[in-house]
Amino acid sequence: MENAPIDGLELLEKHLNVLVQKPETPFDAKLFDDVELQLT
């Protein structure tokens, strides 16, 4: 099975890092949804 790139994964990782550093940052559910749709 070949690995396929996941669009938006890098943005999601950056967002998660910002959330850890600055918990007051608004949560961007769309980033999670975009990645999740590709994994299902």
Could you give the angle at which helices 29-39 and 9-21 cross, rounded to 10 degrees?
A: 140
Report pLDDT for 1.
55
Report pLDDT for 3.
84
Percent helix, percent strand, percent coil in the chain, to nearest 5: 60, 0, 40
Report pLDDT for 25.
97
Report pLDDT for 17.
98
Report pLDDT for 18.
98
pLDDT 10s digits, 1-40: 578 899 999 999 999 999 999 999 999 999 999 999 998 7
Q: What one-letter code names the amino acid at 19?
A: L
Report pLDDT for 29.
96
